[in-house]
Amino acid sequence: MQLNETIEFYTKASSMALKRMYNHMGAEYGVTQTIGFVLVYIAKEGISPGKLSEKLEMKKSSLTRLLNNMEKEGCIYKQSDPTDKRITKLFLTEKGLARRKIAKVAVLGFNEKIMNQVSDDELDAFIKVSKIITNEVEKIVEQENKHI
């Protein structure tokens, strides 16, 4: 088997293609793929930066820079939790909500294009293989962490 025939090659190629597409589509609005994920993960009830960091699997320092830029651009705001002042939550501004809507339309539109080209069985197989990959990666990382 050649390296360009491996599962890693195809998943990486697809991931990079998606990133290029979403970055290109969002450039007009100042929305990268990562910013799009942030916009989608910030729900009405808000989210703490720590939880967001976990969901995005981003280092807190990288996320902090991104959030500070998004706050300067007027897409998000931070607010202390009224029941526990130690907790800060992130919320979307009107500008952030508008950009979130754009990101959602792009994701759902692309999803529909793919769904129109694959059968239910093919989709089920793709989801199954994706879950297997994720589970195996998590097992390997867990094992590696035990050796550290």
Q: What is the pLDDT of residues 22-77, one digit of tens each?
A: 999 999 988 999 999 999 999 888 999 999 999 999 999 999 999 999 999 999 99
* The predicted structure's pLDDT at residue 145: 83
In this predicted structure, what is the pLDDT of residue 3?
87
Q: What is the average per-residue pLDDT within 7-31?
A: 94
Q: Of 67-76, 79-88, 124-133, where does mean pLDDT reach its minimum? A: 79-88
pTM equals: 0.81
**Domain 3-117: which topology?**
Arc Repressor Mutant, subunit A (1.10.10)
- As beta bridge partners, residue 76 has 92
On the 0-12 / 13-18 / 19+ scale of CB atoms within 10 A, 44 is exposed
Which residue stretches of the chain are H helix?
7-26, 33-41, 49-56, 60-72, 94-115, 120-147
CA separation for the pair 17, 40 (Å, rounded): 20
Domain residue ranges of the chain, discontinuous segments joined by +: 3-117, 119-148
Using the predicted structure, report yes or no on whether residue 114 has a pLDDT greater than 90. Answer: yes
Q: Are the C-beta atoms of residues 22 and 106 closer than 8 Å to each other?
A: yes
